[in-house]
Structure 1
Amino acid sequence: MTPANSPTPPRPWYRTVPDPMVLIFLILVATYLLTFVIPAGEFERITENGRTVVVPGSFQYLSDVAPIAPFDIFVAIPQGLINASQYLFIVFIAGGLFHVLQKTGALENAIGVAVNKVGVRRRNLIITVGTFIYGFFGVAVGYENNIALVPIAVLIASAIGCSSLVGTTMAVGGIGVGFALSPINPYTVGVAQGIAELPTFSGAWLRTLLLVTSLALLALYICKRVVPMPFKEAANAEGMSRPLHEYSLTRRNVATLVAFVLGLAVMLYGVFTRGWYINEIAAMFLVMAIAIAALNGLSPNAFVARMIEGASSVTAGAMVIGLAASIQVILAEASIIDTIVNGLSGLLDGVPAGLTAILASVLQGVINLFIPSGSGQALVTMPILIPLADLVGISRQLMITAFQVGDGLTNLIIPTSGGMLAMIALGRVSYEQWLKAILPFMGLVYLLSFAGLVLGQAVGY
């Protein structure tokens, strides 16, 4: 027993991490200070086949950009909220949808029945299968498009006796890895291969190998590391309410789940055939919520009350998204994004061919902090990196894979990734808790991916 007068032991570093909003505000201030160190500059851009591309070698410094005033740091915050409004609104609407759905009991009953049949003792099998399923959605559907599926993983985790952190890691990690290493990602691989004049989705074997091994690694990591992690559930988190053997499905439950699945099917149809994105998906969530409320006999007033309850439970996560978007506001106003990209790309000059792909991947991860859009990043960096790949003796295909690894995987940790912040908000996990859980895995998956890049260079990929 520790004596009463003994000094208090120092707290571990990971217990002194500031609140996510404090952390992101500090990054915002640091970004503002960078505007006085990094000169403004821009690339020339032209339109080819309806697509805006950067002209390699066209970078020039700008002398007519006014300094940003200190007060603009605070102006950038509401502007960031406006710029990120589509993410904020889909978080609020999705939060309301799942609160309405959970209150019907249909989703909980379905998960309870399914887990009871499989057996809680097969927990690791459920986590592994779930991780690969979410990985498949990341491959086939995209990143932000899967926001609605995160709360389902949280309920599955609750059914097998795990925390919401386990469910969130299974869902967001699986979706993130699937999207990052997808052999058929139209937003990154498709755009980059178009710029590189390569057949669309060619060279899929290396990406598929990295994808499958990374998802297997993630499932193992969750079972061995995340499941045993101490985790304090949010006070408003909704989990399983009774023992598994007591669950059953009513006709109304079945009708509710059919409406939910049909809604998801319509959403996916819109994504793949109509070009739907965040706003249309949010609208579809709202239609699904109204349909589910009607099937369960909710009055309009009761429906609105539940939507507001659900939205309020994810307010903190939504505010983090808006605050993170303010970083991009400062970077754009100072016109230093292109300067940073140009400087980082210049670091690849003179690097041995065997290391170029790895270093390019690392640099893409840094650039992703400033240009979180995968397709936008491809349009800015690929016109620079593709000619560089030709000069240093690595294939264009390998450079694109290096870009994909660097851009995609960092979406799981950078504070400017609106999709990631939206999904962990729906999983009732704070940014601080998320980083503690996912960072060790990130180290492992990067080592695996870098080994894949070395393999690709060795076999002439």
Structure 2
Amino acid sequence: MSKFKFPTAFTILFALIAIVAVLTWVIPAGEYERQMNEALGSEAPVPGTYHEVESNPQGLTSVILAPIAGMYDPGLLGSSSSAAIDVALFVLVIGGFLMVLTKTGAIDAGIGWLLHRLEGREILMIPILMIAFAFGGTSYGMAEETLAFYALIIPVFIRAGYDSVTGVAVIMLGAGIGTLGSTFNAFATVVASQGAGIPFTTGIVLRFIILILCLAAGIAFVMRYAKRVKVDPSASVVADQAEENRRHFLKGSAGDDALPELTRTRSIILLLFGITFAIMIYGVVVLGWWMAEMSGLFLVMSIIVWWVGKMDEGSRMDEATFVETFVDGARDLLGVALIIGVARGVVVIMDAGKITDTILAGAEGFVSGLSEFAFINAMFGIQILMSFLVPSSSGLATLSMPIMAPLADFAGVGRDLVVTAYQSANGWVNLFNPTFAVVMGGLAIGRVSYDRWLRFVFPLLVILAVIICAALTVGAITDPGIDGSTTETSDTTSN
């Protein structure tokens, strides 16, 4: 009898699209009235206005077209996120940029230098990098941007004697836990606080506590796994792919032990690589850049790297080789680009079937009248469910906060706790959410199947959930209730 093989990410996502389409025939269609919320800068649901509307069940044609619609539909559910086609193009350009960089030998040379400097202490890369990615997550919700790092960081860990899962975990868990513990993230904390009618700094101490505890747990978890894999490679969840992964991620190197020399030209190229990401972060945080601008940046830097490489015979490429190399790199990430649109197809079906607001209305009724302890934990659970359906942090905040935050007034807890429950739940789910393109894209680049990622990350998910629930419970018990600013803003939130 043949051994069961877990389906690919594409199959899983198409199945989810079909399941949600079936639900549009079962769940009543409904909508909240929406009006402009000046604080959010977009339309938001008005509490108490939910009403049923004519159903719009989604059939076979809708299921087939959902991934395509998911590619080009911008701002689903009122979110400020880019259309998936923008993200997909960004991924393809990153693939081209990284392949050009690899062709110069700069990446392999840099890996060799780093491993030499950290000889015997390679494990330190895990806390250093996870803290760096967590800063990006907590400050601006670093997500799609992480896709640029996998092809660089995974080879480093494989060279150091670890596996591809270690590299994926450092990036995905580092940035994801940072987003889970967002402190001043404009796409999560700030948007949600505006929707709740409170300053985003309210509740920031509890969020810092959640961030520190969860990040410490994540670092310890990944380090423990990495140590075990280095001692016993068969302990890796991708042990059967070890040789194949080594060939894939270390292609083009001079051999297992003979890495290219870190010449002056290659050092300049690596410096340009670092400058590229510094410019990207500055552009996103300060200048308001998004996918188009970031794609343009990586395209320009690919050309600059090519020109600089002409200074060194070992890094030199003619024009035809440069173009061919860039296209080959984009081709390597084509599957990742396609999966991003498929992942958004679930949200397309929900939105077209008009069941998102019905689910939100059910959640509104479920938490009404609960005690402080029960309310905040139920809120965390509801936001987990909503995050599966609406993975976009800004989209979920815009959709749910105007409805859910005022309920805190009746439960006797501060609205800041609802914001914290929302962002913690959204960040927690997006560590493994199959409808979140960043998860499926990162796993595809790392060559880690979804079932193996679940097997690896499940114990940590339990630990993080316990930490979050404990923090929210303590916050609810010690919270004296509604502060003045909450009461004053409740009317403006609804209007």
TM-score normalised per structure 2: 0.85
Of residues 377, 382, 385, the one that matches 2:404 is 385
Where does residue 238 of structure 1 map in the other structure?
249
Contact 1:318-1:425 at 8 Å conserved across structures: no
Contact 1:372-1:417 at 8 Å conserved across structures: yes
Q: Which amino acid is 1:380 matched to?
A: L
Tell me whether 315-324 or 399-408 shows the greater mean CA deviation: 315-324
State the secondary structure of the residue aligned to 2:249: coil
Of residues 25, 31, 49, the one that matches 1:58 is 49
Does residue 407 of the first structure (1) align with residue 406 of the second (2)?
A: no
State the secondary structure of the residue aligned to 1:347: helix
State the secondary structure of the residue aligned to 1:266: helix
Q: 1:176-235: CA deviations, max 9, x gaps?
A: 111121211111111122223322333222111111221121122112236442311555
Q: CA deviation at 1:449?
A: 1.1
Contact 2:13-2:435 at 8 Å conserved across structures: no
Contact 1:92-1:311 at 8 Å conserved across structures: yes
CA distance in 2 between partners of 1:203 and 1:38 (Å): 36
State the secondary structure of the residue aligned to 1:198: coil
Contact 2:372-2:412 at 8 Å conserved across structures: yes
Contact 1:206-1:456 at 8 Å conserved across structures: yes
CA distance in 1 between partners of 2:300 and 2:360 (Å): 41
Contact 2:405-2:418 at 8 Å conserved across structures: yes
Identity %: 29
Does residue 287 of the first structure (1) align with residue 300 of the second (2)?
A: yes
Q: 1:320-347: CA deviations, max 9, x gaps?
A: 2222222122112111111111112321
Tell me whether 337-346 or 164-173 shows the greater mean CA deviation: 337-346
Q: CA deviation at 1:359?
A: 1.5
Where does residue 431 of structure 1 map in the other structure?
450
Q: 1:208 to 1:248 in 2, by over 3 A?
A: farther
Q: Which amino acid is 2:430 matched to?
A: N
Of residues 276, 279, 287, the one that matches 1:266 is 279
Which runs of 5 or more structure 2 residues have no equivalent in the other structure? 74-83, 230-234, 311-316, 481-495
Tell me whether 289-298 or 232-241 shows the greater mean CA deviation: 232-241
Contact 1:40-1:334 at 8 Å conserved across structures: yes
Tell me whether 385-394 or 46-55 shows the greater mean CA deviation: 46-55
TM-score normalised per structure 1: 0.91
CA distance in 2 between partners of 1:138 and 1:151 (Å): 19
Does residue 69 of the first structure (1) align with residue 80 of the second (2)?
A: no
Tell me whether 123-132 or 97-106 shows the greater mean CA deviation: 123-132
Contact 2:214-2:464 at 8 Å conserved across structures: yes
Q: CA deviation at 1:242?
A: 4.6
Where does residue 309 of structure 1 map in the other structure?
328
Which runs of 5 or more structure 1 residues have no equivalent in the other structure? 1-7
State the secondary structure of the residue aligned to 1:36: helix
CA distance in 1 between partners of 2:223 and 2:48 (Å): 48
Q: Which amino acid is 2:217 matched to?
A: L
Where does residue 384 of structure 2 map in the other structure?
365
Q: CA deviation at 1:428?
A: 3.5
Does residue 151 of the first structure (1) align with residue 142 of the second (2)?
A: no
Where does residue 462 of structure 2 map in the other structure?
443
Q: 1:321 to 1:379 in 2, by over 3 A?
A: same
Q: 1:430 to 1:101 in 2, by over 3 A?
A: farther
Q: 1:389 to 1:368 in 2, by over 3 A?
A: same
State the secondary structure of the residue aligned to 2:162: coil
Contact 2:376-2:418 at 8 Å conserved across structures: yes
Q: 1:73 to 1:355 in 2, by over 3 A?
A: same
Q: 1:195 to 1:71 in 2, by over 3 A?
A: closer
CA distance in 2 between partners of 1:26 and 1:159 (Å): 37
Corresponding residue pairs, total:
448
Where does residue 138 of structure 1 map in the other structure?
137
CA distance in 1 between partners of 2:356 and 2:179 (Å): 24
Where does residue 99 of structure 2 map in the other structure?
99
Of residues 70, 80, 100, the one that matches 1:80 is 70
Q: CA deviation at 1:152?
A: 2.7
Q: 1:426 to 1:95 in 2, by over 3 A?
A: farther
Contact 2:221-2:460 at 8 Å conserved across structures: yes
Tell me whether 164-173 or 83-92 shows the greater mean CA deviation: 83-92
Does residue 38 of the first structure (1) align with residue 57 of the second (2)?
A: no
State the secondary structure of the residue aligned to 1:35: helix
Where does residue 220 of structure 2 map in the other structure?
220
Q: Which amino acid is 1:130 matched to?
A: L
Where does residue 340 of structure 2 map in the other structure?
321
Of residues 264, 281, 294, the one that matches 1:251 is 264
Q: Which amino acid is 1:88 matched to?
A: A
Q: CA deviation at 1:390?
A: 0.6
Q: CA deviation at 1:241?
A: 5.2
Q: Structure 1 residue runs of 4+, over 6 Å off?
A: none
CA distance in 2 between partners of 1:373 and 1:272 (Å): 18
CA distance in 2 between partners of 1:196 and 1:274 (Å): 26
Q: CA deviation at 1:248?
A: 4.1
Where does residue 113 of structure 1 map in the other structure?
113
Where does residue 126 of structure 1 map in the other structure?
125
CA distance in 1 between partners of 2:191 and 2:116 (Å): 44
Contact 1:135-1:177 at 8 Å conserved across structures: yes
Q: Which amino acid is 1:255 matched to?
A: I
Q: 1:248 to 1:460 in 2, by over 3 A?
A: farther
Where does residue 4 of structure 1 map in the other structure?
none
